[in-house]
Amino acid sequence: MRSLLLFLLLLGLAGLELAGPAWAQESLHGHMRYPEAAPEDLVAVCTGNSPRLHKDAAQALRVMIEAARADGTDLRALSCFRSIQKQRYLFCRHVCDPRGQVCGKSCDGRRESEKARAQVSAPPGHSEHATGYAVDFADGRNRKCDFEICFGGTEASLWLAENAATFGFELSFPEDNAQGISFEPWHWRFVGTPEARQLFQAARQRYPASPAVR
C-alpha cells in the first residue's frame, strides 16, 4: 500500500514537472498568467520609468548592449519590470466593461472592452513585465519609433533579430502570432537561465517566440 502511494505521488510530481505549475496554464484573453518578481531579485538597469529588471537578465542585458555598441548600434532598454498594480492601472485606464473580470464597473468616459484592450496590453497578473524578465527596447537614433511598429525597421531592431538570442533574449509577440496579440517588435523576454525558462515554459510551448532562443 505504502509503495503504491509513493508511486502515485511520484507520478503526480512527474505530471507537475511536465505541465509546469498550475498558474501557468491559466490565460486571460490569450495572455498567460505570471507571478510578480521578488523585489530583492530586481536591479535598476533600464533607462525609462520602469528601470528595474531581474538581476540575471540585467547581467545579460548589460553585455548585450555593450556588444551592440561595439557594432555601432545604439540599443536602449526602456521599460522593464512592472508591478501587477501598475499593470492594472495601465490596462484599466482605457477599459469600461460591465462583463469584465479585471477592472472596476465604473466608466468615467472610458469605452474599451477588456477583450479589445488585451490585444495591445496584458491584463494585470498576465504581463511578462511582472516577472522582471521582459524588456522593451528602443533605438537611440530613432526615438520617434519608441513603442511603435516602425521600431521593427530600425537598426537596433535588426541588430536584435540577428543577435539577441545569443544573449538569451527572444521576441515574445512576433508578427501574426497565434496568441492573437498585436505585433510588438520592441518587446523581448529573457530565457537564459533555468528559472526564466521555467516561468515561460507554457507560453513557449503554446506560442513560440520568433526569433527564439534554442
Least Cβ distance, residue 134 to Zn ion (angstroms) = 5
Q: At which residue does the C-alpha cell 529588471 appear?
A: 53
Least Cβ distance, residue 136 to Zn ion (angstroms) = 4
Least Cβ distance, residue 211 to Zn ion (angstroms) = 16
With CB under 5 A as the contact rule, which of the stretches 85-93, 94-102, 110-118, 128-136 interacts with Zn ion?
128-136
In whole angstroms, what is the distance from residue 85 CA to residue 50 CA? 13
Residue placing its CB nearer to Zn ion in the complex, 114 or 136:
136
Residue placing its CB nearer to Zn ion in the complex, 187 or 204:
187
In whole angstroms, what is the distance from residue 127 CA to residue 81 CA? 10
Q: Provide the CB-side half-sphere exposure for 127 (13 A, CA).
A: 29
Q: Cβ(49)–Cβ(76) under 8 Å?
A: no
In sequence order, what are the residues at sequence separation of 6 or more whose Cβ sits closer than 8 angstroms to the Cβ of residue 163?
Answer: 64, 67, 68
Determine, following the binding rule CB under 5 A, whether residue 189 of this chain makes contact with Zn ion: no
| CB-based closest residue to Zn ion | 187
Residue placing its CB nearer to Zn ion in the complex, 33 or 187:
187
Beta strands in 143-193 (DSSP E): 169-171, 187-190
Near Zn ion in 135-154, by CB under 5 A:
136
Least Cβ distance, residue 101 to Zn ion (angstroms) = 22
Residue placing its CB nearer to Zn ion in the complex, 78 or 96:
78
Near Zn ion in 55-114, by CB under 5 A:
none
Number of residues that bind Zn ion (CB under 5 A): 2
In whole angstroms, what is the distance from residue 56 CA to residue 113 CA? 36
Near Zn ion in 168-187, by CB under 5 A:
187
Q: Cβ(60)–Cβ(192) under 8 Å?
A: yes
- The DSSP code for 187 is E
Least Cβ distance, residue 189 to Zn ion (angstroms) = 9
3-class state of residue 168 by DSSP: coil
Binding site for Zn ion (CB under 5 A): 136, 187
